[in-house]
Amino acid sequence: MNNIKTTKDSLPTFSVNELNQSIGLLLSRGFAPKFILKATVSKAQIRKGHLWLTLTDGKASVDGVAWASTLNSLKFLPKQDDGVLIVGKLNFWESQARISVQVLDIRASLSTVLKKFELVKSNLLQEGLINESLRKKLPKYPDSIAILTSVPSSALADMLRTAKERWPLTKLYVIPIPVQGNNEEKVGNILRELKINRLKLSAIVIGRGGGSREDLILFDSEIIAREIAGFPIPVITGIGHEDDLTIADLVADHRSATPTAAIVDLLPSKMNEINNFLQTKKMIKDYFNLFFASKKNFLIAKKAIFESHSPMQIIKSKKTNLNHIYQLLNALSPHTYLKRGFALVTDLKGKSINSVKNLRKSDKFLVQLFDGKISAEVDNVNYDKI
């Protein structure tokens, strides 16, 4: 700048180097040190460990670069035609007067996420991997489960607390996995290892706490989806919030709204089971009380029948009947009537005479009284007037 020569009426004069330095100085002073850039990737390639991008909005384009030192920390590596959101700053090479965007962080735009979601979903639907009939039934009382999530995380803490409160009998295995970024191969390898099921698992839970839909793009991976679809035991997903839907949710055997909800859906409630046990216990007790009361009444009835048909009871009944007959016979016997003052009149052969018409004058007959007989002879026969 010291070599600029001016006169009162002349324009500033620069060398190329001076001009570029002046532009760089203006940019450093007048432009934001960091900014967010919305763009579409028209070209992406890695050269010498650096990621070089051509970014466009359809009307203009600008170069971008993610240095090797930044590349390994990026959670998303864009491809051609991906929509992106870039946190960056300007780089200005004075020697060439070139501007580029230095990428500090990069994420897929929502349009890119949804595009990938629909593409993978279409592929899996065509192969029949997204199918309600393929969903496996969740175990009622799982012996052991694996929780796949970020460690440590608030989602894991909530899941462990909920599991302990609901059903402490289930053994828990915590398997750390990355829950975002370019880690689909790593997560896929973990799932492939778990498929062998050396741990004798009853089910696995894949959980991730809330975030933007763009942060969940890892779970739209076709690699992860295929591993879940072919899993030999039930897979439960609790990824993001209730409104978030990923490809992993579509192929899982059960989708829960949140990581904590996944534990609630999988494990039985200790309190509910206790209440069910107490109700069942009461039902069994009432059943047996009713059963034994019924059997007791049955035995009492049988005892009454046996007692009524026992030999002693029969003899007693027969004796009572005989006494009744004896009393009746006594009441109706001639001896009783004779004792009351009646007499029995018979001829000499013992044939009863019940009418005066059966006797003639001078006929002999017998009169039976209570304490003996009287021999008599008819002196006269008198007929009653009827």
pLDDT in tens, 61-114: 999 999 999 998 888 889 888 899 999 999 998 888 899 999 999 999 988 899
pLDDT for the residue 1: 47
- Across 17-34, average pLDDT: 87
From 19-33, 134-148, 219-233, 258-272, the region with the lowest mean pLDDT: 19-33
- Helix or strand or coil: residue 41? strand
Is the distance from CB of 180 to CB of 155 less than 8 angstroms? no
Better-predicted residue by pLDDT, 222 or 316: 222
Query: Nearest-5° angle of CA 345, CA 351, CA 352?
Result: 40
Q: Specify the 3-state DSSP secondary structure of 95.
A: coil
Domain extents in the chain: 16-108, 113-268
CA distance to 135, 168, 269, 356, per residue, from 238 (Å): 16, 20, 18, 124
Q: What is the pLDDT of residue 120?
A: 96
Do 117 and 111 touch, CB atoms closer than 8 A? no
Q: Which fold has domain 113-268?
A: Rossmann fold (3.40.50)
Largest CA distance in the chain: 205
> Stretch 50-59: mean pLDDT, rounded?
92
* pLDDT mean over 164-169: 96
Name the 3-class secondary structure at 366.
strand
> Which among 143, 127, 147, 138 has a CA at the least distance from the CA of 230?
127
What is the pLDDT at residue 233? 97
DSSP-derived letter for residue 137 is P
Average pLDDT over residues 285-291: 93
What are the DSSP calls for 200-247, one per residue? --SEEEEEE----GGGGGGGG-HHHHHHHHT-SS-EEEEES-TT---H
Domain 16-108, CATH homologous superfamily name and number: Nucleic acid-binding proteins (2.40.50.140)
**Residue whose token pair is 């192929």:** 251
Residue 161 identity (one-letter amino acid): R
pLDDT band at 3 (very low <50, low <70, confident <90, very high): low
Bridge partners (DSSP) of residue 377 are 364
